[in-house]
Amino acid sequence: MSKLYRRFDALQAVRKAETTLTARNGSGILDMNIAKIFGENCLSMDTLKERLPKSVWKILKKTIRDNAPLDFEVADAVAVVMKEWATEKGATHYTHWFQPLTGATAEKHDSFITPNQGGGAMTQFSGNDLMRGEPDASSFPSGGLRPTFEARGYTAWDPTSPAFIIENGRGSTLCIPTVFASWKGESLDFKTPLLRSVESLNKQAMRALKLFGEEDLKWVNATGGFEQEYFLIDQEYFYRRPDLMTSGRTLFGAKPPKGQELDDHYFGSIPDRILSFMLEVERELYRLGVPVKTRHNEVAPSQYEFAPVFEKANVAADHQQLTMIMLKKIARKYGLVCLLHEKPFAGLNGSGKHANWSMVTSRGANLLEPGDSPHDNMQFLFFFTAALKALHDHQGLLRASIASAGNDHRLGANEAPPAVISAYIGEQLDDIVEQLKSGKAKTSKEGGLLGLGIPVLPTIPKHAGDRNRTSPFAFTGNKFEFRAVGSEQSVSFPFAILNTAVAGAIDEMTSALEAEIENGKDLEAALGVVLQKTFSEIDKILFHGDGYSDDWQKEAKKRGLLNLKTTLEALPCLTEKKSVALFEKYSVLSELELEARLEIYLEQYFIKLNIEAETTEDIVRTMIIPATIRYLNEILAVNDRGKSSGLDITSTRTLAEEVNTGLSQLIVAVAKLGRVNEDLGGDTIPEKAQHLAQVVLPEMNKVRELADKLEKIVPDDFWPLPSYREMLFVK
């Protein structure tokens, strides 16, 4: 009988993996001729330029560079080129590819087919098809922005992100990046606020740069580079774990004797099957024009990372979504499943997505790069300070931007940044901040800035900024690294918030600078005053110690920094007065759109936890309790037969008692979980979410603890769930 419940064993998994690999992929070297394959499945600006009539290309270029409106004639011409290019690549269908507030991407495919009068058919794709789509979108979350009776939402082409081809062994589809909005124009997606925020950053940064004498720049954009962490496990195990299938994380699992303690996985040599997988992911991403660059093993067993070369924020965010899609898709070809959840395995490191951020000008200058000349350094100090001011002024918003049920497991544990938002800038820059605050720069060998004699501003060392992995927001030489973003999250919202907050800070500081200059100060002296004032207001955000320590929790409280430990504490920041004012001032999100977002995020939180609780109950009732009873039955059989054959069965009896106690406790606990989970805790979404967080989650944790104890007693061949040891060490 026990055989029925015997789960897939490790040996079989390894053997099967090898056969899967060769059967599905054959063997052989992938064509990695980068010059040839890079971007071949992505409609680049170069290809468009080559294929479009010159006059049309000029207008399109203007649209893309300067955000100018696009008319339908131009769109028609682009559509023709796009369709030609896509059909050459084997595409029969197209889809508007968008990013609804579920955090995933969405697509609805339409064929190019148009029947003609003679009874045949041809392919067609118009400017209208390109510019606008109307998916029946009643099932996407809208937070009340779009009642179902007027369920129309529409998608609109985003020409700033290139179209691309998604291949399938049987055919291909043209994907057109689009925004998604209600028919009244309210944003229902992640892309719209990101695009709007880039525009607000552009405006404010350009205004500031004029003061620094930069007259002929065309634009400023945000840049992003995202380090994606993920786990890979054999798919045989995945399908035997209902918890992984429904919630992306293990809701049970006793800690294995060996976890990540030996640090023998981090940067270790990459196992063969995994490396094959990585090579294929890289090849497919190259073909889509995604510049992935770095790959390595991460800290936890079976945890890995990919990082691309940074790009403009909007394109980078789309490419980040494509990276997640490809990781999941290609893993299957290797008999693996890619887990993007923030905490798939308790007791091991979770996965994050370090979001590297900076600003770039149309001339290609990085505004956070300390320069060679004193003038460049003034500019650097201005933008560097603005970013820190943004962080200080909108800590709550940034914390809210990364709040999710999954990320709650990570933030605050001693592996990921704490929930307190602070910045690390390195000792050298910290010293400079001290000099700025005191208004007295140390004289440096170079004799001050701009040859004005006594320096007002200090000189910036090159390559400032070292490492502190415990900080959520670290300056790493020429960019900030926002480390609290979760592995599964869209990077668009954190970036939209960051861009908007920085636009606000630049705005304020530029006005202050203008006022000082009007009062007769030269630029350097004026900047000295503005920086001194700004840093004296915001320096509590700077922290260089151990972010994981208890001392920091106390110190942060003393400094008056926010410490929003959970999603439900963080999310309300979205609709605070200060946040609404910021978003409305820069036309990034309206109050209505913010309220809708708050509701959607709360609802997602609620639904996710609810699924976890129900899955916990199911697994215990239908897998763990039956397995334990079978074991108890076997021990009791020994007891009975032992007695009649005159054996001393005292110890077996003790064992039976131990199993029985564990079993009874589990039965009681799961009954309680069922009861509290049935209760909704209220009628509104916030009430339901609070109920899950405060009542259901603790009961779930209790059930897990009891079940994990049983996993250590019940025989391996009775236990119905693949163990941590198997999932993490079969590669």
Tokens of 209: 């740069």
**Binding window for ligand ADP (CB under 6 A); candidates: 126-134, 223-231, 268-276, 671-679:** 223-231
Chain-centroid distance of CA 641 in Å reads: 59
Residues 6+ apart with CB under 8 A from 686: 602
Q: Does 476 engage in binding with ligand ADP (CB under 6 A)?
A: yes
Q: Residue 283 or 354: which CB sits closer to Mg ion? A: 354
Q: Are 671 and 658 in contact (CB under 8 A)?
A: no
DSSP string, 694-705: IIIHHHHHHHHH
**Binding window for ligand ADP (CB under 6 A); candidates: 17-25, 36-44, 139-147, 474-482:** 474-482
| Residue whose token pair is 């690999």 | 21
Q: Does 309 engage in binding with ligand ADP (CB under 6 A)?
A: yes
Q: Does 499 engage in binding with ligand ADP (CB under 6 A)?
A: no
DSSP string, 615-675: HHHHHIIIIIHHHHHHHHHHHHHHHHHHHHTT---HHHHHHHHHHHHHHHHHHHHHHHHHH
Distance CA 117, CA 94 (A): 23
Task: Name the β-bridge partners of 229.
Answer: 305
Q: Which does 483 bind (CB under 5 to 8 A by kind): ligand ADP, Mg ion, none?
A: none
Q: Residue 357 or 586: which CB sits closer to Mg ion? A: 357
**Binding window for ligand ADP (CB under 6 A); candidates: 50-58, 180-188, 473-481, 536-544:** 473-481
Q: Residue 295 or 332: which CB sits closer to ligand ADP? A: 295
Among 88, 79, 80, 110, smallest CA distance to 97 is for 110
| Residue whose token pair is 């290019």 | 85
Q: Residue 359 or 570: which CB sits closer to ligand ADP? A: 359
Distance CA 691, CA 681 (A): 5
Q: Which does 57 bind (CB under 5 to 8 A by kind): Mg ion, ligand ADP, none?
A: none
Distance CA 217, CA 502 (A): 19
Site for ligand ADP in 353-372 (CB under 6 A): 356-358, 366
Task: Name the β-bridge partners of 308.
Answer: 292
The H or E element that residue 559 is part of is helix 550-559
Site string for Mg ion, 453-482 (x = CB under 5 A): ------------------------------
Chain-centroid distance of CA 714 in Å reads: 38
Distance CA 233, CA 156 (A): 38
Q: Does 229 engage in binding with ligand ADP (CB under 6 A)?
A: no
Site for Mg ion in 350-369 (CB under 5 A): 354
Q: Are 218 and 201 in contact (CB under 8 A)?
A: no
Distance CA 250, CA 246 (A): 10
| Residue whose token pair is 């938002």 | 421
Q: Does 308 engage in binding with ligand ADP (CB under 6 A)?
A: yes
Q: How far is CA 495 from CA 480, 500, 560, 593, in A?
A: 12, 8, 25, 17
Tokens of 597: 């977002």
Q: Which does 366 bind (CB under 5 to 8 A by kind): Mg ion, ligand ADP, none?
A: ligand ADP
What's the min distance (Å) between Cβ of 309 and ligand ADP?
5
Q: How far is CA 31 from CA 18, 34, 279, 486, in A?
A: 22, 8, 10, 33
Q: Residue 142 or 349: which CB sits closer to Mg ion? A: 349
Q: Which does 200 bind (CB under 5 to 8 A by kind): ligand ADP, Mg ion, none?
A: none
Q: Residue 99 or 223: which CB sits closer to ligand ADP? A: 223
Q: Is the dihedral of CA 677, 679, 685, 691 positive or negative?
A: negative
Q: Residue 356 or 510: which CB sits closer to Mg ion? A: 356
Q: Residue 57 or 310: which CB sits closer to ligand ADP? A: 310
Among 69, 364, 401, 360, smallest CA distance to 202 is for 360
**Binding window for Mg ion (CB under 5 A); candidates: 348-356, 414-422, 465-473, 506-514:** 348-356
Number of amino acids touching ligand ADP (CB under 6 A): 15
Site for ligand ADP in 655-694 (CB under 6 A): none
Residue nearest to ligand ADP (CB): 225
Q: Residue 241 or 354: which CB sits closer to Mg ion? A: 354
Which residue from 97, 310, 601, 724 is in contact with ligand ADP, where contact means CB under 6 A?
Answer: 310
Q: Which does 500 bind (CB under 5 to 8 A by kind): Mg ion, ligand ADP, none?
A: none
What's the min distance (Å) between Cβ of 422 and ligand ADP?
18
Q: Are 303 and 349 in contact (CB under 8 A)?
A: yes
**Binding window for ligand ADP (CB under 6 A); candidates: 176-184, 197-205, 275-283, 304-312:** 304-312
Q: Residue 360 or 632: which CB sits closer to ligand ADP? A: 360
Binding site for ligand ADP (CB under 6 A): 223-225, 227, 307-310, 356-358, 366, 476, 478-479
**Contact residues: Mg ion, CB under 5 A:** 354
